[in-house]
């Protein structure tokens, strides 16, 4: 059975609900992708999170939530005394969503220390590993460099490395992000970015320009997302069918990645996989929050 690892941070989510209440959940880019990948795969595989959490009640609930999604928890390091990060989704008077974060002390920031103390044991036997720009942004520069060395070694052993830059201006400076994201692309076989981040960080205005940049960094397979407009899949444009109702675009890109990778692992071509990813993302944006409730999934 294939071992698929999603490396990064999962947070406690508090989403504004009616009557001044908040609905508590768990979310984070690589976790969202893990959930949708696991739910969409037809081929049996071990899908797991490579992350660090604390030993508090919220961390325990988070691990229980991973288990309930059928995710493998063997590589979730538990740090005594640490806690997970938290974010809150507020809806303002104009109906715009604002995100507020409490993540500076999050356990996931210590992930590389855990990996190193474990001599990289988590990577053993990994067939595919997904990581993101957020996975890197929350680390120190020293830990980013250590992690990328580990990922290069993993790739050299034959694992497929998948990267989504998921650029968040709040987490790091533009020049710093441009530097590290390019380094990360240099470790990736498959890249799943959005065009907008390439426009912002490297001034590439078209999917063709972004694709040339990625190919130059050694990426072999790429999908460039352009929100509701179109997809660019290994040199070919694919039209996106607009959603009938956009309720909440949270996790559109993450669910696309999950659907795409599931189809690729099930043996579909990149173009067919992009269609599956887009269909899933279209569905996810019809629901509130990152994760569609399990009882509404089937």
Helices (runs of H) and strands (runs of E) counted in the chain: 10, 13
Identity of the residue, 39 or 143, whose beta carbon is nearer to ligand ADP in the bound complex: 39
Closest CA to 23 of 233, 298, 283, 289: 289
Would you tell me how many other CB atoms lie within 10 Å of the CB of residue 40?
20
Q: Would you say 222 or 231 has its CB closer to ligand ADP?
A: 231
Per CB under 6 A, residues contacting ligand ADP are 194, 225, 227-228, 231, 240, 242-243, 246, 249, 252-253, 256, 278, 281-282, 285
Give min distance, CB of 67 to ligand ADP, in A. Answer: 26
Nearer to ligand ADP, 83 or 240 (CB): 240
Q: How far is the CB of 225 from ligand ADP (least distance, A)?
A: 4
CB burial readout 123-133, b (16+ within 10 A) else e: beebebbbbbb
Residues 6+ apart with CB under 8 A from 138: 9, 103, 106, 108, 109, 171
Please identify, using beta-carbon distances, which residue of 129 and 274 lies nearer to ligand ADP. 274
In the complex, least distance from residue 26 CB atom to ligand ADP, rounded to whole angstroms: 17
Q: How far is the CB of 187 from ligand ADP (least distance, A)?
A: 20
Q: Which is nearer to ligand ADP, 6 or 231 (CB)?
A: 231
Q: Residue 54 in contact with residue 114, Cβ under 8 Å?
A: no
Q: Provide the edge-to-edge strand list for the sheet that holds 97-102.
A: 22-27, 11-16, 86-91, 97-102
Residues carrying an active site annotation: 254
Which residue lies nearest ligand ADP, judged by its C-beta? Answer: 253
Nearest-CA neighbor of 88 among 9, 8, 171, 11? 11
Tell me the closest approach of the beta carbon of residue 11 to ligand ADP, in angstroms: 16
């Amino acid at each position: 059975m294939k071992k698929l690892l999603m490396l990064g941070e999962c947070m406690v989510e508090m989403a504004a609900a009616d009557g001044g209440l908040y609905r508590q959940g768990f979310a984070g880019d690589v976790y969202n992708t893990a959930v949708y990948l696991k739910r969409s795969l037809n081929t049996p595989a071990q899908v797991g999170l490579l992350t660090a959490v604390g030993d508090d009640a919220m961390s325990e609930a988070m691990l229980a939530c991973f288990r309930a999604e059928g995710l493998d928890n063997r590589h979730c390091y538990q740090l005594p005394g640490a806690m997970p990060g938290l974010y809150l989704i507020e809806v303002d008077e104009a109906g715009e969503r604002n995100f507020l974060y409490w993540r500076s002390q999050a356990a996931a920031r210590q992930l590389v220390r855990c990996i190193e103390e474990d001599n990289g044991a988590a990577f053993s036997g990994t067939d595919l590993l997904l990581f993101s720009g957020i996975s890197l942004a929350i680390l120190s520069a020293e830990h980013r460099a250590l992690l990328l060395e580990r990922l290069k070694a993993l790739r050299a052993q034959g694992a497929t490395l998948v990267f989504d830059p998921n650029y968040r201006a709040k987490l790091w400076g533009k020049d710093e992000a441009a530097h590290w994201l390019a380094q990360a692309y240099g470790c990736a076989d498959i890249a799943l970015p959005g065009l907008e981040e390439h426009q912002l960080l490297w001034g590439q205005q078209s999917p063709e320009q972004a694709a040339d940049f990625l190919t130059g960094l050694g990426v072999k397979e790429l999908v460039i997302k352009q929100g509701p407009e179109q997809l660019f899949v290994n040199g070919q444009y694919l039209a996106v069918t607009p959603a009938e109702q956009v309720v909440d675009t949270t996790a559109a890109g993450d669910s696309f990645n999950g659907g795409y990778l599931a189809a690729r692992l099930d043996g579909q071509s990149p173009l067919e996989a992009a269609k599956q990813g887009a269909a899933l993302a279209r569905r996810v944006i019809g629901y509130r929050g990152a994760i569609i409730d399990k009882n509404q999934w089937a």
